[in-house]
Structure 1
Amino acid sequence: MNFLRNTLVTTVLLAGTALISCGNSSKKDSGSSEETTENETIITAPAFSSDSAYQYIADQVAFGPRVPNTPAHKACGDYLAKQLERFGAKVYNQSADLIAYDGTILKARNIVGVYNPENKKRVLLCAHWDSRPYADQDKEENHHRAIDGANDGASGVGVLLEIARQIQMQAPAIGIDIAFFDAEDYGIPEFYEGSYKQDTWCLGSQYWGRIPHVTDYKARFGILLDMVGGKNATFYYEGYSSRTANRAMKKIWKMAERLGFSNYFIKKDGGEVTDDHVYVNQLRQFPCVDIIHYDSEGNTGFNPTWHTLNDNLEHIDKSTLQAVGQTVMGVIYNEK
């Protein structure tokens, strides 16, 4: 995905103490759509299906690596747009020629599905759908091989497609926009010997941030899903989100706790990453939270399969998909 790849977590230490919980889970009446806590009424969201999300991931991986300028990339883009249309969204296809770090012109395509477009109260859900052209965290002989990106890319998209399916059947009270950003993972590889260039990651969200799918687009907040399907995944407070989207971030982690997913959503500070949420915030000027796997024990801070050929369907865990998908749905269905 797109983060402070080289300087990432090695320069950011975990906070020594956990933050105090904002609320406790309450027992739910299976015959009711609401539960009442001491201070608020919580709406029970529709049941997220990790089986469906997993199938959407498998569908993407079956096309092959979704690297811009390849047949697999074009075919998968068509599939994603059709899926959103199938699930009742008004779909915007945003094509652009974007310049990669090495001068390559990338035929990129952002795909945005809009629900309840007339509602001014909106939340953006987003993920990147392209996959890395380089396995530059793998053995040297694999560095120039493209990866499947089952976790790094496809997992976030798979979760959002399942959420789109649920929205079609039962809409939340607000407008929802689901954005699949392209060309996120075409940044400078580890083996590149040229001069370093700023902003080579997240090219699709940079373009969308400057030229959104509708004029003057705003949302209450955004939620970015990146690497949300790995086994034993943990999601810590990401640094940039903490500074620029703290209220929305705490709302998400509080919902995860209510739903029983505290073992995934850890209330501690993790690393800071350069990802699509940075450009959403900087260019559209509303908060956006990055839900991204953070490995406090690893050398990179990311999932062990990150930017390797092991980022394949074998390493996707439905339990992680369930935790993320149900949490995000809990958040959006409780916006009023």
Structure 2
Amino acid sequence: MPFRFNLLPAGKISAILFLSLLAIQGCNNSTSSEQTSEQQAPKLVPAPAFNADSAYHFVKQQVNFGPRVPNTAAHKACGDYLVATLRKFGFQVTEQTFVATTFDGKKLNARNIIGSYNPQEPKRILLASHWDSRPFSDQDSTVKTKPVPAANDGASGVGVLLEIARVISTQAQKPGVGVDIIFFDAEDWGNSSEATDEYSGFCLGSQHWAANKHVPNYTAYFGVLLDMVGAKGATFQKEGYSVQMADEVVREIWGLASRLGYSNYFIDQRGAAITDDHLPVNKVARIPMVDIIHTQQNNLSHTFFDQWHTSQDTMEHIDPKTLKAVGQTLVQVLYQEGQPEPGM
């Protein structure tokens, strides 16, 4: 997960032209509008259960390989595992290999892994997470040169998506949309204080995919990026760039999460704007993509989870309840989107 982030300014209060009477009227109108919105919200369609223990297992399997740093044996072995697992679940797999150049001039043998379900379906939903590990624990108090185990910052999102792939493959009732799962590589090698490019050296895999899609002219209805979605007590605010570039998708996901009882995870407030893999997808691939990412509320000194970019990003901090909240919400999103339009 990238280090660089920007806080978006809150909207300024307009000139004080309306006194208490209009303020009260505005509150009443707001309440009426919210009630109308709730009444118009589409009915929740039946969706299968997301198994949190299975997702936890998929996270642990990745961590067991060791840090998945590009150009290492653990990286190659884990990549092969991801390919085999997607194929086992009936996904058509494309391996997009490329050589990435880091901000400090290193050459990485990288691999984006794309799994496609129902590839002939024209309406597609793109789900993504990065699968590589950061090569140095720069936020650690002592061992800054050790690679990050990356249980939360990487493996958690991949684990959720593998469980979604398993759920889809085992259901008699399919979601009714095409689903593409992309595991982006070489996301976490950046350095915001030294790199000079737009992405501060991060997001190499998503940049490559956005400029070289695995299918010519590929597009999706929308995309969802998962980053750091497994920590105990995680909070997912509405990430700033997501609100700017894909606000309707943000409102749909956070609204469904609330209706499913996960509003304590999916916080109904705007958070920081994070440089992450969804930016190339939005800006270059022109696919509206949101970022579900753990950011702490009202904590400007420590934006992400406590073990971020340290050697303590290990399995003991992963909570199946958090994986469940994210995974069940996304399963619901897929099945909601797979419903035919009214009148069809």
Tell me whether the two structures share a fold, i.e. TM-score over 0.5.
yes
Give 1:296 deviation, angstroms. Answer: 1.9
Counterpart residue number, 2:147: 146
Q: Which consecutive unaligned segments of at least 5 residues does structure 2 have?
A: 14-29, 339-344
**Which residue of 91, 94, 100 maps to 2:93?**
91
Give 1:44 deviation, angstroms. Answer: 2.0
**Which residue of 159, 169, 172 maps to 2:175?**
172
Count of aligned residue pairs for this structure pair: 317
CA deviation map 1:204-226 (0-9, x unaligned): 00000011111111001000000
Counterpart residue number, 2:81: 79
Give 1:36-47 correspondences, 5 Å limit.
40-47=42-49
SS at match of 1:261: coil
Distance 1:311 1:39 in 2: 39
Distance 1:260 1:14 in 2: 27
SS at match of 2:337: coil
- Given that 1:91 and 1:111 are in contact with CA atoms closer than 8 Å, whether structure 2 keeps it comes out as yes
SS at match of 1:278: helix
In structure 2, do the counterparts of structure 1 residues 301 and 83 end up closer, same or farther at CA, with 3 Å as the change threshold?
same
Give 1:14 deviation, angstroms. Answer: 7.0
Counterpart residue number, 1:314: 316
Counterpart residue number, 1:261: 262
TM-score by length of 2: 0.87
In structure 2, do the counterparts of structure 1 residues 39 and 188 end up closer, same or farther at CA, with 3 Å as the change threshold?
closer
In structure 2, do the counterparts of structure 1 residues 16 and 195 end up closer, same or farther at CA, with 3 Å as the change threshold?
closer
SS at match of 2:284: helix
Query: Are 1:201 and 2:202 matched, yes or no?
Result: yes
Distance 1:158 1:290 in 2: 16
Structure 1 or 2, whichever has the larger Rg, is 2
- Given that 2:157 and 2:227 are in contact with CA atoms closer than 8 Å, whether structure 1 keeps it comes out as yes
Query: Are 1:278 and 2:279 matched, yes or no?
Result: yes
Distance 2:157 2:228 in 1: 7
Counterpart residue number, 1:124: 126
Distance 2:112 2:35 in 1: 37
Over the matched positions of the two proteins, sequence identity in percent amounts to 50
Counterpart residue number, 2:61: 59
Distance 1:16 1:262 in 2: 26
- Given that 2:95 and 2:114 are in contact with CA atoms closer than 8 Å, whether structure 1 keeps it comes out as yes
Distance 2:76 2:318 in 1: 24
**Which residue of 102, 105, 115 maps to 1:103?**
105
Give 1:300 deviation, angstroms. Answer: 2.7
Give 1:40 deviation, angstroms. Answer: 2.7
In structure 2, do the counterparts of structure 1 residues 195 and 307 end up closer, same or farther at CA, with 3 Å as the change threshold?
closer
Amino acid at match of 2:179: I
In structure 2, do the counterparts of structure 1 residues 16 and 64 end up closer, same or farther at CA, with 3 Å as the change threshold?
farther
Counterpart residue number, 1:242: 243
- Given that 1:65 and 1:72 are in contact with CA atoms closer than 8 Å, whether structure 2 keeps it comes out as yes
CA deviation map 1:100-130 (0-9, x unaligned): 1111000000000001111110000000000
Counterpart residue number, 2:223: 222
SS at match of 1:152: helix
Counterpart residue number, 1:158: 159
Counterpart residue number, 2:293: 292
Amino acid at match of 1:166: V
Counterpart residue number, 1:137: 139
- Given that 2:103 and 2:195 are in contact with CA atoms closer than 8 Å, whether structure 1 keeps it comes out as no
Counterpart residue number, 1:212: 213
- Given that 1:270 and 1:294 are in contact with CA atoms closer than 8 Å, whether structure 2 keeps it comes out as yes
Q: CA RMSD in A?
A: 2.2
Give 1:310 deviation, angstroms. Answer: 1.1
Amino acid at match of 2:163: E
Give 1:196 deviation, angstroms. Answer: 3.3
Give 1:189 deviation, angstroms. Answer: 6.5
- Given that 1:14 and 1:270 are in contact with CA atoms closer than 8 Å, whether structure 2 keeps it comes out as no
CA deviation map 1:222-261 (0-9, x unaligned): 0000000011000001000000000001000000011000
Counterpart residue number, 1:327: 329
Distance 1:311 1:74 in 2: 21
Give 1:197 deviation, angstroms. Answer: 3.6
Give 1:12 deviation, angstroms. Answer: 4.2
Amino acid at match of 2:121: N
- Given that 1:57 and 1:154 are in contact with CA atoms closer than 8 Å, whether structure 2 keeps it comes out as yes
Distance 1:40 1:241 in 2: 23
SS at match of 1:248: helix
TM-score by length of 1: 0.89
- Given that 2:51 and 2:163 are in contact with CA atoms closer than 8 Å, whether structure 1 keeps it comes out as yes
Give 1:38 deviation, angstroms. Answer: 5.2
SS at match of 1:294: coil
Distance 2:34 2:287 in 1: 23
Give 1:304 deviation, angstroms. Answer: 0.8
Give 1:42 deviation, angstroms. Answer: 2.1
